[in-house]
Homo-oligomer: A and B are copies of this chain.
């Protein structure tokens, strides 16, 4: 968007004198003549490990053929997105994760990194691609074996077989283990019989199911020899070449949705549909011709979670797409806020740029800091994902960590996306509500990210349970002495924290000015101490509350757990926030340029303080912040906002979006041109001597 090479080589020296005496801070880092970021270097940092692939994807979607047309009717939008997917194929975008022997690159990290950029073109394209290659294709790749790969992988990659991922049912979403669809092995014909026993077992909300899908990977209870071996996945043709349903298959269109209307979501049901035995995707469980079941994983529970875990990439990519979509909304709102003027200050002749208002800084800059944190956290998630799926670090522990990390980050980034896009839309007023400025469409499309691929609350509960079990492991086989020691530690900790961060330079700080003591008390190490301490204590509190449950009846135990459910989810959220903060801090630590490191450290501090402010009551109730120190958090945030205000444009320019990615007239400079035209009009009018005088000035005479 800007010539950063020129900018970086000429650090501006002169302070700008704001016109009209408005209460303006400097509008840019150049004006502020401060250390400033190297925009291009920050772009590299944000694009992360697979920056090249992301740039490649962004270059590709500069082609208007990939752009969402706001307000396009559903039927046309669906066909347009299908066409866009066909365009992706020759660009190689559908084969990055495919093994080399099937013409792919076998590069899992790059694959997700590239796909998540599609959100800038049209979130429907991102998600429909995700359905085809990330879910349907991945089910065949990850849950199937060589025979399946040989048979279907190429056709899936080149879109000869568009497919649906038929897991969710009308009656069961998050609770996949309880789905009703059955796949009963018929030893006579060596076939599986796929069947929907009641309405609640219809497969539902499936992309590609309403119109385009020719096949589906159907999850069903595998029954053979009178035994239910739990949920497995089957490759089931659903439509013939003319687009008619195969015999026994039926369905419905889900119709208009809150967003993502470029995807043909629909329902499917099966009436005794027969598929060959070989259509069982048998990597983790198989049925022999004689009907005998075998699996390398003997525990049904572990087998189930291993199969689901193989499909974690959906969550990984949503975390990234939500982060990029959020960035776009911040780019639009902050660019506009730097141009749009409203109300004069009562003291001058000119109106004030929106971003000079204290409230406007407060509503947008912490969200910018949060979004930066998400970029760093997403890159770590992608690295872990790539490590596991490349086979480099494919251990059960790494898989479990990956799943926990994805389950912790995806809820935070998708919720943050909705909140941030909404704040951005409101910050742009009526023009933010126009489709052409993209914020409303973006929010509508991203809305469902918070409940699909794992409902956010359900995912956080999974994370919470993992935290509880890690916590419990510390005490496994612990003798009385160890437990006693722990209890003492707990108490000491509480007393210690009761004084409010005394351990970190508080006494030193108290000798300095207020400003200094605030910063001393809330520097990186204290931020970390506060954020990490909160996770530990919340988990420990829930664990303590649940401990008696082991002696209760299962009904009573369930009641105890239920009474702590909201708290456990909150602990998991705190864990995710900590991970984002740590990723941001590690990212900043890697920066060598002094100006960049300075500004990004302020931004990281803003994120840390923003998190601490959100949970300020908790910190005080739990004796980790004194009321005085708590009061200083808000003041420090205000100061950081003022300090970061001149860097706002640099920081959103560093997202590296081109005009073809932004496409919002209000962030194009049109607003500034209009303001200039209006000013010029009044200037000329005044110069002409024909300007009307105001009634007010008349009365003064």
**A507 on the interface (CB 8 Å rule)?**
no
Complex interface residues of chain A between 344 and 364 (CB less than 8 A to chain B): 344-348, 351, 356-359, 362
**A40 on the interface (CB 8 Å rule)?**
no
Count identical subunits in the complex.
2
| Interchain CA distance A391-B443 in the complex, whole Å | 45
CB-based contact B558/A227 at 8 Å: no
Contact A698-B227, Cβ < 8 Å, known A198-B681, A255-B436: yes
CB-based contact A695/B433 at 8 Å: no
Chain B residue at smallest Cβ distance from A199: B674
**A617 on the interface (CB 8 Å rule)?**
yes
Contact A558-B199, Cβ < 8 Å, known A433-B447, A621-B630: no
Query: Which of A209-217, A424-432, A587-595 participates in binding chain B?
Result: A424-432
* Chain A 207-246 interface mask (CB, 8 Å, partner B; 1/0): 0000000000000010100111110000000000000000
Complex interface residues of chain A between 313 and 360 (CB less than 8 A to chain B): 342-348, 351, 356-359
| Interchain CA distance A616-B616 in the complex, whole Å | 8
Chain B residue at smallest Cβ distance from A197: B681
Query: Which of A31-39, A70-78, A515-523 participates in binding chain B?
Result: A70-78
**A107 on the interface (CB 8 Å rule)?**
no
**A186 on the interface (CB 8 Å rule)?**
no
Q: Nearest-CB distance from A288 to chain B (Å)?
A: 16
Query: Which of A172-180, A377-385, A481-489, A602-610 participates in binding chain B?
Result: A172-180
Q: Nearest-CB distance from A521 to chain B (Å)?
A: 15
Task: Please list 25 pairs of residues, one from A and one from B, whose beta carbons are closer than 8 Å in the complex, sorted by A's number.
Answer: A21-B558, A71-B74, A180-B681, A198-B678, A200-B675, A221-B692, A227-B693, A255-B434, A257-B433, A258-B425, A258-B443, A347-B554, A347-B557, A356-B562, A359-B457, A422-B447, A425-B447, A430-B452, A432-B451, A433-B447, A433-B451, A617-B630, A620-B620, A620-B630, A621-B630
Taking A228-B694, A430-B448 as given, write out 14 further A-B residue pairs in contact, using a Cβ cutoff of 8 Å, ordered by the A residue number.
A21-B558, A71-B256, A71-B261, A200-B674, A300-B694, A300-B696, A300-B699, A356-B562, A426-B456, A430-B451, A430-B452, A617-B630, A620-B630, A621-B630
Interface residues of A (CB under 8 A from B): 21-23, 70-71, 73-74, 168, 170-175, 178, 180, 197-201, 204-205, 221, 223, 226-230, 254-259, 261, 293, 300-301, 342-348, 351, 356-359, 362, 418, 422, 425-426, 429-436, 439-441, 443-444, 447-448, 450-452, 455-457, 553-555, 557-559, 561-566, 569, 613, 616-617, 620-621, 623, 627, 630-631, 638, 674-675, 677-678, 681, 692-696, 698-699
